[in-house]
Copies of this chain bind each other. A is one copy, B any other.
Amino acid sequence: LKKKTSLADIAKALGVSKTLVSMVLNGKGNENGINEDTQKRVWAKAKELNYKPNIMARSLRTGRSHTIGLIVADISNAFYARMCRAVEDAAARRGYYVLFSSSDEKAQKEQELIQMLRDRLVDGLILSTTLENKEGIEELEKAEFPLVLIDRFIPNESTAFVTADNYAGSKEAVHHLIKKGHQRIGVLKISPSYLTSITERVRGYQDALQEANIPVADQHLLEIPYDNIQASIKEELPKLLTGENRVTALYALNNNLATAALKEIHSMGLKIPDDVALISFDDIDLFSIHSPGITAVSQPVSDMGTHAVELLLNKIESKKNADENDQVYLPTELIERDSCG
């Protein structure tokens, strides 16, 4: 590994000081009244020696790394993968880079990752929190560490967040089902179930039923553990789909659940939408290609990412206008296909 050119190398080659070179290369030449000619010589020599600033040294000095951290549950999940991409692009547009990590929905891993990212002096953090790590988050807030939650938020706290409007979107989905004539609607929800993305969707479901004067039946709500979705669906789904109180429609609260349900419905030999209707919160490619197409609530994933970055960078650069709202709900969209009858 060959040694790289440093400021000092340029300074020495030119017989000037590091300071001068630093100023010029940081575009502060004019502002500090440095000779046009000297400036040109500096630039030329920098190019000649293929100078690249050492970001570590700069960070050490300035206390800023121009890097932000992003923690999601699982970067290989389509929803988060798209989100990561949006965050990456939005950050790049403003000259920041992104360190990604997956928490696997585990609070302890989340905390370790927060720690490691801070160790690396990220300037701020976008976090899809497990919500079981309140302590860790409080610590960040206490230290006034720039933080924006994404996808989920902490109820009754002032922490900044960007999320889809899960409540409204969910309500719309259930209304749609009702309009299509469904009254007994089974809900597949994920545990941990205190995730606001989930609780808000459940609340939307309940309110939609209530508004239509349909009683909410607890046994229609299935809770599926995050780390064992397919097997658990296989075991639980038949309970919902058989017997005389069986549901006529299934509402999956995220894409993983919908996908797993789809598989199981197929392997039970049932037909959508005749034997059972299916609607999903969160739209993925699969649903448009499947036949019949699966009706789904589409989340503004890219917008969420972009918005979160804007919020975070404004915090970091203290550009926040006093009236900037930093708890934002983005609208969802119902994509109607053929899975609801």
Query: Known contacts A55-B119, A120-B55, A143-B1; is A78 also within 8 Å of B75 by CB?
Result: no
Q: Does A59 sit within 8 A of B, measured CB to CB?
A: yes
Please, which residues of chain B bring their CB within 8 A of the CB of A263?
288-289
Residue of B nearest to A92 (CB): B101
Q: Does A254 sit within 8 A of B, measured CB to CB?
A: no
Q: Are B290 and A289 within 8 A (Cβ)?
A: yes
Q: Does A226 sit within 8 A of B, measured CB to CB?
A: no
Name the interface size band of chain A: 35 or more
Q: Are B54 and A57 within 8 A (Cβ)?
A: no
Copies of this chain in the oligomer: 2
Residue of B nearest to A116 (CB): B97
Q: Are B266 and A121 within 8 A (Cβ)?
A: no
Question: Could you say which of B56, B102, B289 contacts A60, with CB atoms under 8 Å apart?
Answer: B56
Q: Does A214 sit within 8 A of B, measured CB to CB?
A: no
Q: Does A176 sit within 8 A of B, measured CB to CB?
A: no
Q: Tell me the minimal C-beta distance from A110 to chain B in angstroms.
A: 14
Residue of B nearest to A255 (CB): B285
Q: How far is the CA of A291 from the CA of B145 in the complex (A)?
A: 49
Q: Are A56 and B53 within 8 A (Cβ)?
A: no
Q: How far is the CA of A118 from the CA of B54 in the complex (A)?
A: 9
Residue of B nearest to A316 (CB): B1
Q: Tell me the minimal C-beta distance from A108 to chain B in angstroms.
A: 14
Q: Are B84 and A75 within 8 A (Cβ)?
A: yes
In this complex, the member of A55, A56, A99 whose beta carbon has the largest number of chain B beta carbons within 10 angstroms is: A56
Q: Does A34 sit within 8 A of B, measured CB to CB?
A: no
Q: How far is the CA of A111 from the CA of B242 in the complex (A)?
A: 58
A residues near B (Cβ < 8 Å) are: 1-2, 52-57, 59-60, 65, 67, 74-78, 81-82, 84-85, 88, 97-102, 115-116, 118-121, 143-145, 259, 262-263, 266, 285-286, 288-291
Counting from the closest, the 7 A-B pairs by CB-CB distance are A76-B85, A81-B81, A56-B60, A76-B81, A286-B286, A56-B59, A76-B82
